[in-house]
Amino acid sequence: MKILVTGARGFIGKNLIVALKRRVDVDVIEYNLDSPAGLLEEGLARADVIYHLAGVNRPERVEEFMEVNFDLTRQICDALRRLERAPLLVLSSSTQAAMDNPYGLSKRQAEEAVFDFGRETGASVFVFRLPGVFGKWCRPNYNSVVATFCHNIARGLPIAISDPVKEIELVYIDDVVRAFISEIGGRRSEVRGKSAESRGQRTAGGDEASKGRGGMYREVEPVFRVRLGELADTIRAFRESRTTLYVSDFSDPFVRRLYATYISYLPEDSFSYVLTQRSDSRGELAELLKSPHIGQIFVSRTRPGITRGHHYHDTKVEKFVVLEGDAVIRVRSIRPEVRDQRSEVGGQRSDVIEYPVSGREFRVVDVPPGYTHAIENVGQNDLIVLFWADEVFDPGKPDTYYEEV
């Protein structure tokens, strides 16, 4: 399958092409506004599918809106008529096509051009009226508030918010790409379709529109709605998480997509950062992540022969896993009757339960509340242990009580 992508170096084009090239059944022809005219003609003559993404939204001259957004689209449709070809045509449009500003008018006329082409030729034509699109590789300080906020906040630069309560609509780039590709894969679960007629446009292809022929509108899902102030606060929290160690709630699909976007704007020399370590004669300890939803994760390095712990918790639950070295984890119930019951069953008294653990096995040990516990480095080298606790440590309410195992 040969696929022509116009606007190949644009934000959506770059992401779409990466996904298309993962397919073994696809040969991609990449066209940009500065490509030789012959490349566009060649692509139109060969393509089974055309993704027409090329356009402008911040031109130097207002006339460029029509020259690029509408005229180029009309030229493509006229060339296909001349070549007597009717490939599947997907047009990237904008929700601003419903507005009467110069950009919106140029996009609406581009839509009408492809709908006319579909009606006249019977080609399948799909128009995506997209709201703001966010994700990796979008140009900052241009026309995307998400890209600008992520780029500037990642670098400690100021951002401007004219109206913090203004709500915007956004779709994520991977959802856009998935919806675009679904048009050639026969899947419709990720997009909702509306005929051009249902949106006040002339339907291309008459009754054929209801069968997926002619002109149809498509909408990417999910659409996220967020206030500008909330957007900025969320992105700032991403930056601050390296210090606070608090991670956001990634069960929220918007937050997870936004975090992936923010990370993609980090300077390449800033991917790495050092955790704050607490050191004493036993070794070092560093907190890694905190969350009110999942507790916290921390890591320790312990010298040979050293034991950490000798305490219990009323409510807090912990997991231990040795990453490197050899250790013995010892636990003992603080209730005498529990120890007595165990000695009766086992035939001998054994207050302490021992778990030999090693970094060679990655064995997890759960420590329930009411069991005092300790971990001893019994190896010849430093012991590296990863810990998880189901709550973030609160110095005012530590829920940690000393008692020798």
b vs e for 71-101, b when ≥16 Cβ sit within 10 Å of the residue's Cβ?
bbbbebbeebeeeebbbbbbbbbbebbeeee
Strand partners, 302: 283, 383
Catalytic residue among 31, 51, 103, 262: 103
DSSP secondary structure string for all residues of 63-98: THIIIIIIHHHHHHHHHHHHTT---EEEEEEEGGGG
Torsion of CA 335, 338, 339, 341, to 10 degrees: 150
The residues, any chain, with a CB within 8 Å of residue 265's CB and separated by 6 or more, are: 140, 147, 150, 151, 154
Tell me which residue has tokens 């509340």: 369
Q: Is 217 a catalytic residue?
A: no
Neighbours of 126 (CB within 10 A): 23
Question: Residues with Cβ < 8 Å from 278, sequence gap 6 or more?
Answer: 284, 285, 286
- Alpha-carbon distance of 115 to 112, in angstroms, equals 5
What is the C-alpha separation between 196 and 189, in angstroms, rounded? 20
| Active site positions, annotated | 103
